[in-house]
A = this chain, B = another copy of it.
Amino acid sequence: MQLLDGKATSDQLKKEIAEKVASIKQAGGKVPHLAAVLVGSDGGSMTYVNNKVLACKACGFDSTLLTYPATITEDELLAVVDKLNKDPAIDGFIVQVPLPKHINEDKVTEAIDYRKDVDGFHPENLGRMMLGLPTYISATPNGIMELLKRNKIDTAGKHCVVVGRSNIVGTPMSILMSRNTNPGNCTVTMVHSRTTNMKEICASADILIVAIGKPMFITADMVKPGAVVIDVGTTRVPDASDPKGFKLRGDVDFDNVKDKCSWITPVPGGVGPMTIASLMQNTLLAIELKNR
């Protein structure tokens, strides 16, 4: 088994981005500027956003963090989005989800100018991804593609099984892996809660990508010997022995699966860091697309 080390790969990626930013700066060009909007004080969201701001620093980007109380109205948040859309200093921005229940997330996502939607959640960007047009691919699927590419994992003609059909991970992942690209060119099966023979299908995967948020869902008997296993799950499981009071758990029973597969992502340190590095890539791309 070899570890698909997302931490190391993302560090390398951020280093390369920082080098590009340094040469943009030297040439007198605009440094990428990412804004992040955080609503409320959810612990997970605060951690994610802080990590994104730290990644901006590591890449030499400018960054702006805008925080609002959970009581912000939908109209007020839409006004924030509108202002960011129009601000020429901001190249890309994200609105951290989940949002409070009184705010329609779809409406907020659609209000973002797709040219600044570096999260790649806007319908226009999802459609452009489907069509293979220049776009921001959602950070997690994009990070997984990068992880496969940089670790030279052969995907063409392989059977890729994607577990989970979410808009943010499962669905775009299934499309990306099926495209005539490298990585890609897989025969892709997407399975979900209504799939009847989950175990059998997972066990037939050469590449197994799991994104359902159920800790330990994938057991060793669901993994084909030699498979590549990508674990997108990051559930906080209470753990009194941990100073934070919880441990991050993936969707895969890592300890029992690891000796069966050829490659596997750890949790933490696998897909998570790649997601953030991928957001940085998209923000750099925002400058490049603007200059086309």
Contacts of A125 in B (CB 8 A): 123, 127
Known pairs A130-B171, A171-B175, A187-B191; list 9 more (Cβ under 8 Å). A122-B127, A123-B126, A123-B133, A180-B194, A185-B194, A187-B192, A187-B196, A187-B197, A188-B189
Tell which of B133, B190, B197 touches A178, judged by Cβ atoms closer than 8 Å.
B190
Q: Hey, what's the 0/1 contact readout for A150-173 against B, CB within 8 Å counting as 1?
A: 000000110000000101000110
**A186 to chain B: which residues have CB within 8 Å?**
194
Per-residue CB contact flags for chain A residues 183-210 toward chain B (1 = under 8 Å, else 0) read: 0011111111011110001000000000
Q: How many copies does the complex hold?
A: 2
If A126-B130, A167-B130 touch, does A187 touch B187 (CB 8 Å cutoff)? no
What are 23 A-B contacts with C-beta separation under 8 Å? A123-B123, A123-B124, A123-B127, A123-B133, A126-B127, A126-B130, A127-B127, A127-B130, A157-B194, A157-B196, A165-B178, A165-B179, A171-B178, A174-B178, A175-B175, A180-B194, A185-B192, A187-B189, A187-B190, A187-B194, A187-B195, A187-B197, A189-B189
* CA of A290 to CA of B43, assembled, Å: 41
List the B side residues contacting A157 at CB < 8 Å: 194-196
Complexed CA–CA distance, A25 and B2 (Å): 68
> Chain B contacts of A191 at CB under 8 A?
187
Contacts of A185 in B (CB 8 A): 192, 194
Q: Is A128 an interface residue (CB 8 A)?
A: yes
Q: Does A106 make an interface contact (CB < 8 A)?
A: yes
Residue A240, interface by CB 8 Å: no
Cβ of A173 to closest chain B Cβ, rounded Å: 12
A255 CA to B156 CA, complexed, in Å: 34
Question: Contact at B171–A192, with CB atoms within 8 Å?
Answer: no
User: Which chain B positions have C-beta within 8 A of A130?
Assistant: 123, 126-127, 130, 167, 171-172
Check A131 for interface membership: any CB of B closer than 8 A: yes
**How many angstroms between the C-alpha atoms of A106 and B156 in the bound complex?**
26
Give A122-154 as 1s and 0s: 1 = Cβ < 8 Å from B's Cβ atoms: 111111101101000000000000000000000
- Is A128 touching B133 in the complex (CB atoms < 8 A)? no
- Pairwise interchain contact A156-B194, C-beta atoms closer than 8 A: yes
A165 proximity list for chain B (CB < 8 A): 178-180
